């Protein structure tokens, strides 16, 4: 599946524009991580873009999230590596994260939320005003962006990155598409 088709499939299944923006952010982070780790940029990007394709359909049921997405994507003949990574990104499913792509998606998903929250609390509400040091400070404030699972982000060590590296790569990735994200 090419990127254009993947985006179209995502857009017809998700009504929430902020959720679509989240998927775009995770796609950008995954592409930048793949580039950094010398992995398949397009494959990793599609995993990021499509990882929440089923959220409207499962209506918040985390016991189904990822499995329903896998069924949708299997019907669209999406690469099985992408489908597996999407199942593995939801810890509620208990799917082992075996490959780098699985582990990267797991830590990239909450990172996008943390970075978005950091931008939104600034007066300008712009990603280009967010610094690595600011994000690291906010990361350690437990009451800030509670939905952004810190433990999940810290699993970046499993792909050979420090937390600082992960945040830096993710921030640069999202800054590159800030206009598309409205940030």
Residue-range domains of the chain with CATH: 3-181 (1.10.3210)
Q: What percent of the chain has pLDDT over 90?
A: 99
Average pLDDT over every residue of 95-115: 98
What is the predicted pLDDT for the residue at 107? 97
Using DSSP's 3-state secondary structure scheme, residue 165 falls into helix
Q: Contact 183/34 with Cβ under 8 angstroms?
A: no
- 39-52 mean pLDDT: 98
Q: What percent of the chain lies above the pLDDT cut of 70?
A: 100
Rg (CA), the chain: 15
List, for residues 67-96, the tens digit of each pLDDT value: 999 999 999 999 999 999 999 999 999 999
List the Cα angle 56/57/59 in 5-degree steps.
65
User: Stretch 16-40: mean pLDDT, rounded?
Assistant: 97
Query: Region 115-134: what's the mean pLDDT?
Result: 97
Give Cα 147 distance to the centre of its chain. Answer: 13
Q: How far apart are CA 168 and CA 163, in angstroms?
A: 8
The pLDDT of residue 161 is 98
CA distance 11 to 23: 10
Mean pLDDT for all residues in the chain = 97
pLDDT attached to residue 94: 95
What's the confidence (pLDDT) of residue 88?
A: 97
- Looking at residue 150, what is its pLDDT? 97
pLDDT band at 144 (very low <50, low <70, confident <90, very high): very high
pLDDT at 60 over 90: no
CB of 44 within 8 A of CB of 101? yes
């Amino acid at each position: 599946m090419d990127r254009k088709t993947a985006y179209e499939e995502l857009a017809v299944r998700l009504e929430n524009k902020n959720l679509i923006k989240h998927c775009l952010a995770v796609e950008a982070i995954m592409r930048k991580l793949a580039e950094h780790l010398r992995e398949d940029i397009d494959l990793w990007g599609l995993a990021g873009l499509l990882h929440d394709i089923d959220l409207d359909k499962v209506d918040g049921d985390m016991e189904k999230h990822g499995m329903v997405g896998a069924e949708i994507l299997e019907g669209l003949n999406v690469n099985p590596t992408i489908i597996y990574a999407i199942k593995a990104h939801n810890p509620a499913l208990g799917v082992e994260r075996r490959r780098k792509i699985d582990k990267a998606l797991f830590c990239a998903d909450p990172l996008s939320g943390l970075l978005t929250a950091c931008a939104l609390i600034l007066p300008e509400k712009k990603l280009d005003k967010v610094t690595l040091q600011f994000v690291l400070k906010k990361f350690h404030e437990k009451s800030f962006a509670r939905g952004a699972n810190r433990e999940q982000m810290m699993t970046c060590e499993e792909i050979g990155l420090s937390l600082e590296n992960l945040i830096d790569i993710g921030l640069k990735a999202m800054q590159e598409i800030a206009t598309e994200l409205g940030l």
